[in-house]
Structure 1
Amino acid sequence: MNVVVVGSGIAGLTAALHAHEAGHAVTLVTKGALGEGCTPLAQGGIAGAHGAGDSPRAHAADTVTAGAGLSSVPAVEVLVTEAAARIAELVARGVAFDRSADGELLLGREAAHSHARIAHAGGDATGAAIAGALSAAVRASEIGIREHAFLVDLLVERGVGRGIRLLEAEGIRDLEADAVILATGGAGQLYRHTTNPPGATGDGIAAALRAGATVADLEFVQFHPTILAAGPAFLISEAVRGEGATLIDEEGRRFTLDVHPDGELAPRDVVARAIARRAAVQGAPVRLDATMLGAERLARRFPTIDRVTRERGFDWSRVPLPVTPAAHYLMGGVATDLEGRSSLPGLFAVGEVARTGVHGANRLASNSLLEAAVFGARAAAALTAPWPDVAPRTSLATTTEPARSPVDPFRRAALQQLMWEDVGLLRTEDGLRRALETVRGWRTSCPSPRTLADHEDANLLLLAEATASAALARPVSVGAHFREPALIGV
């Protein structure tokens, strides 16, 4: 088969390698350079390396609990049972996970995990190690690589995906394929504060929506609790709290214990909301106190964080760090089955662009790299399988109310601020309606996209409308989707 993989994080690289090794002709298309994106930024690690007393069953239970009961149990079972094989594959491809003197994997613990089961590399540089090893494997293969090629749209013929339309330096080009595997990541650039790189503009989800593929659970946006609140967004790994760091308010009190018995290791949505509320009350960021870990341990276990925080003027071995939540991961996306197949024949989706059902309403820490590896491999294995019968495809819901043009013209920064305030951590019905009306006004007033930035803006506006619509349609709070009568400023 002629297969096109769009995206070069762990999901796309894994899918491309497996498809190539199965004998398919593979072209990997990536928006930036090979191996860029969210994967190399991942610090904590990859869950599923089970230590003493741990088991796939325990990992599954933690995943479902963190997902607020909305995780797909079959998808979770696939995730945890195939974890060992995918981690072993990463080792075989050259990922040097951190090990003890006797060669055993060093395992960290993160929020909502009942055991230490997070394998890491370079202390806090796991994603970079994975991206580097898999990118090297792709370059050493006969996989075709097209870098700096932007996905404009999916090509659909008689209800079947037949390829992609690209924007490259030379202009628009169509690339035909027997199957397309989307691995384009999430849409963190919808928000003012995000851990995602600038290219995370939801291009794959937006293209799937326009093609008529089913998209689900866009209201479930995970906000990472601890981003350094000084300078450009920089994530302070949850593994720091797993090692014993605490969150304190301006009086030095551990406030997260007020909202959950697990305190700093409660599910991410709980911790992020607690931080947002406390920061609003005290009018200043809360602080992450890792001073009890000591300078030597912090530098050894978290060398990247240690270097960056010191470059920004913080000695975190002596002074607690100011932190704030930021948009981090999208649990929703292109709805798929257990083989990564979407509702559009010929279109697969893997990684953050996909909604496999694993994460439910809130992702368990360090399950994202694992999900990408597991389902990237499964999609490649299903390329030649018959396409199952699927329900009729759905497109973005529209309103019967006329869209009103906003007072201010569209700017990406204005959209990001609007989403942060009204479709962020703490949501109200009035805020969601206001956001939806504003976004719809912007969509009707914006001209047809021509440049790459224009296309990105169009994708962000489409996803903003879909996200606000989904949030408005779910009146009950669950997981990362939290509705309340009055908005608390964040």
Structure 2
Amino acid sequence: MFALKVADHGTVALVTKKKAVDSNTNLAQGGIASVFDQGDSFDLHVQDTLAAGDGLCNVDVVERVVKEGPARIRELIDLGVRFNRRGAAGDGLDLGREGGHSRNRIVHAHDMTGREVEQALLDQVRRHPNIQLFENHIAVDLITRSTRIKRGQVTTTHEDFCCGAYVIERRTLQVDTFAAPITLLATGGAGKVYLYTSNPDIATGDGIAMAYRAGATVANLEFVQFHPTCLFHPKAKNFLISEAVRGEGAVLIDAEGRPFMADYSSQKDLACRDVVARAIDTELKKSGADAVFLDISHKPAEIIRERFPNIHAKCLEYGIDITREPIPVVPAAHYMCGGVVTDIQGRTDIHNLYAVGETACTGLHGANRLASNSLLEALVYADAAARSVLEQMQSNGKQAVQPLPPWDDVGTSDSDEMIMVTHGWDEIRRLMWNYVGIVRSDKRLERARRRIEFIQNEIHDYYWHFKVVPDLIELRNIATVAELIIQCAAHRKESRGLHYNLQYPQRDDRRWQKDTVVRRKFVG
């Protein structure tokens, strides 16, 4: 969306690490939260978002995003997105409900909303003469210019201006220099930091890691959202059972068929994701079972097939008929609520560097994201960033692209020990799942900190001695993000939203109603 809005005013290089459709957006099932019903209001949507965020949302940001939602939805419709309609004439949007929402406000395209939105936008991108799409390219690092500041006898270096990125082409392994007066990170989340995730393989926290290494501020990385209901099957990989299934009346039950959510929340099965994920985690630890079950079989079969065609078809592939039997589900890492800190226009604290979507920390989600607010945030901030860039261009004129140094791999050699990379991947994801998962403790976090420090030293040594390859780049990034998650989680001595520590089970507004902010220290 950002590319489309700025492309009439300059050329755009759109870099994507695999195919353009490989993204969390493409897998988003539920929809986009926005106020369209007469019984709903902006105030109600704001209050639901604040309640989910558990005291850490930026109220001004929440109000802006919520109020801009309808305009961004209409913009998508104008671009060809086909949302479900209601009424005989199809003159209104069909609105679903998900956990944490007090009204029906989820605009959706069956249970494949993200795919529908992404396809419409990609169709526009591929037709635009000023946008060049670089598929199967992965960014290695941002390129920055240093500003050296001398105070007395001390000279400090701060990476102040972003000038582009070094990018490797997957097939040839050639690293090219992409120079640009404006760089925007829309690199998604970091679910692959964890052993079990609903995310695709691309979600390795690249934007967060690159921005942090360049000196940008990051925040609230302890707030990793675990989606309560991912399909549990030995042959299934990363398949999410949308929150909208519970919104349509599905009930969580244990192996004996007992509904259990009333034990944990007055909202029962429509409680927010953090509550439901911890409830399932508790039930599994109590029973020793591998999964709990999500049951919507009491609804008419034709309604289930019409509302959830993708989920119904996918479950059938694994021998599960959701119109007749419950679905085995487990929690899995799903969404990063923290990220690169931005202002209301999507600007980071590095000049000419913007961040939007899951890689950003805008202040909307606080300690826990409300269901279907993610695509909403991405749309609103893509628009805000585009407006900011165009205003900057209008004020300053077109900026000349500065010549930048080529990638330097002198002194490196081809790796003959890729086992270090594959072992590192597996070790990080397991330690994060076991020690920094849904429920944490000081002891677990300290174990994780010691281990990730050792792994980071190994990766650092390997990175500077061997030529870069995509798997090494992603390993380096998940290690960086894992270290930041551990650091943020260890710092917060309370339980709030998605962060639950056994030593500090209560929320502490007096001392901890604030963001956890981290910035890399540079040595001048």
Name the residue aligned to 1:443.
Answer: 456
Is 1:196 paired with 2:206? no
Cα shift readout 1:151-196 (whole Å, capped 9, x = no counterpart): 1111101321111110113401111111101000010000011010
Find the counterpart in structure 2 of residue 120 from structure 1: 108
Contact 1:192–1:417 under 8 Å retained in 2: yes
Give the counterpart of 1:250 among 249, 252, 255. Answer: 255
Give the match for residue 155 of structure 1: 143
Distance in structure 2 (CA, Å) of the matches to 1:295 and 1:378:
43
Distance in 1 separating the partners of 2:98 and 2:209: 32
Structure with bigger gyration radius = 2
Structure 1 residue 228: deviation in Å? Answer: 0.8
Tell me, yes or no, if the aligned pair for 2:35 and 2:42 is still in contact at 8 Å. Answer: no
AA aligned opposite 1:347? L
> Is 1:235 the counterpart of 2:240 in the alignment?
yes
Residue 425 (structure 1) aligned with residue 411 (structure 2): no
- Does the alignment pair 1:361 with 2:367? yes
1:250 to partner: Cα distance: 2.2
Matched-pair contact (CA < 8 Å) for 2:493–2:504: no
Q: What is the percent sequence identity of the aligned residues?
A: 46
Structure 1 Cα separation of the partners of residues 254 and 422 of structure 2: 39
CA contact (8 A) 1:220 1:362 kept: yes
List per-residue Cα deviations over 1:389-445 (Å, max 9, x = no partner): xxxxxxxxxxxxxxxxxxx99431221111011111000000001011101101112
Aligned residues: 453
Measured after TM superposition, the shift of residue 295 of structure 1 is 1.8
Residues 228 and 324 of structure 1 are in contact (CA less than 8 Å); yes or no, is this contact kept in structure 2?
Answer: yes
**How much has 1:298 moved relative to structure 2?**
1.0
Whether the 8 Å contact between 2:42 and 2:67 is mirrored in structure 1 is yes
Alignment equivalent of 2:303, drawn from 281, 297, 308: 297
Select the residue among 460, 482, 487 that pairs with 2:500: 482
**Aligned partner letter, 1:246:** V
Deviation at residue 293 of structure 1 after TM alignment: 1.2
Counterpart of 1:195 in 2: which secondary structure? Answer: coil
- Residue 429 of structure 2: aligned partner: 416
Asked whether the equivalents of residues 206 and 463 of structure 1 are also in contact (C-alpha less than 8 Å), the reply is: yes
Q: TM-score, normalised by structure 1?
A: 0.90
**SS across alignment from 1:225:** strand
Which residue number corresponds to residue 107 of structure 1? 95
Whole-Å Cα distance in 2 between the matches of residues 411 and 322 of structure 1?
A: 30
Q: 1:80 aligns with which of 66, 71, 81?
A: 66
Structure 2 residue runs without a partner (length 5+):
147-159, 394-420, 506-524
Equivalent pair of 2:35/2:41 in contact (CA under 8 Å): no
Task: Give the superposed CA RMSD.
Answer: 1.7
* 3-state SS of paired residue (2:228): strand
Q: Does 1:44 align with 2:30?
A: yes
CA distance in 2, matches of 1:109, 1:57: 17
Provide the residue aligned with 2:345 in structure 1.
339
Which residue in 2 is equivalent to 1:4?
none
Runs of 4+ with deviation above 6 angstroms = none
Among residues 273, 282, 288, which one is paired with 2:287 in the alignment? 282
Preserved contact between residue 60 and residue 77 of structure 1 (Cα < 8 Å): yes
Q: Contact 1:260–1:266 at 8 Å: present in 2 too?
A: yes
State whether structure 2 residue 111 is matched by structure 1 residue 98: no
Q: Distance in 2 between matches of 1:431 and 1:261?
A: 31
Kindly indicate whether the alpha-carbon contact (under 8 Å) linking 2:424 and 2:455 is maintained by their aligned counterparts in 1. no
Alignment equivalent of 1:456, drawn from 468, 474, 482? 474
Report if aligned partners of 1:50, 1:56 keep a CA contact under 8 Å in 2: no
- Alignment-mate amino acid for residue 113 of structure 1: H
Question: Which blocks of at least 5 consecutive residues in structure 1 are unaligned?
Answer: 1-13, 388-407
Partner-residue secondary structure (3-state), 1:480: coil
> Could you tell me which amino acid in structure 2 is paired with residue 367 of structure 1?
N
CA deviations 1:291-343 (Å, max 9, x no partner) are: 11132111110000000111101111111111100000000000000000001
More deviation, 456-465/228-237: 228-237
Q: Does 1:205 align with 2:208?
A: yes
Asked if the contact 2:252/2:260 (under 8 Å) is kept, the reply is yes
- Change in Cα spacing, 1:474 to 1:454, as seen in structure 2 (3 Å) is same
Secondary structure of residue in 2 paired with 1:60: helix
Give the Cα–Cα distance (whole angstroms) in 1 for the partners of residues 142 and 296 of structure 2: 47
The question of whether the paired residues in 2 share the 8 Å contact of 1:477 and 1:483 is answered with: yes
Please give the alpha-carbon distance, in whole angstroms, between the structure 2 residues aligned to 1:322 and 1:34: 31
Question: Mean Cα displacement is larger for which, 269-278 or 161-170?
Answer: 161-170
Counterpart of 1:55 (choices 33, 36, 41) is: 41
Q: Which amino acid aligns with 1:259?
A: Y
Distance in 1 (CA, whole Å) between partners of 2:422 and 2:239 is 30
Structure 1 residue 69, shift from structure 2 partner: 1.4
2:471 is equivalent to residue 465 of structure 1: no
Amino acid at match of 2:268: G
Paired letter, 2:202 = G
1:164 and 2:177 equivalent?
Answer: no
Output the amino acid matched with 1:465: E
Paired position in structure 2 for 1:263: 268
1:386 Cα deviation after fit: 5.8
Counterpart contact for 2:223–2:499, Cα < 8 Å: yes
Q: Distance in 1 between matches of 2:453 and 2:300?
A: 51
Partner residue, 1:66: 52
Q: Contact 1:250–1:282 at 8 Å: present in 2 too?
A: no
Aligned partner of residue 222 in structure 2, secondary structure: coil
Matches within 5 A, 1:390-405: none
In 2 relative to 1, CA 417–486 (structure 1 residues): closer, same or farther, beyond 3 Å?
Answer: farther
SS of the equivalent of 1:239 reads helix
Cα distance, 1:256 vs structure 2: 1.1
- Counterpart CA distance in 2 for 1:242 and 1:145 is 37
SS in 2 for 1:33: coil
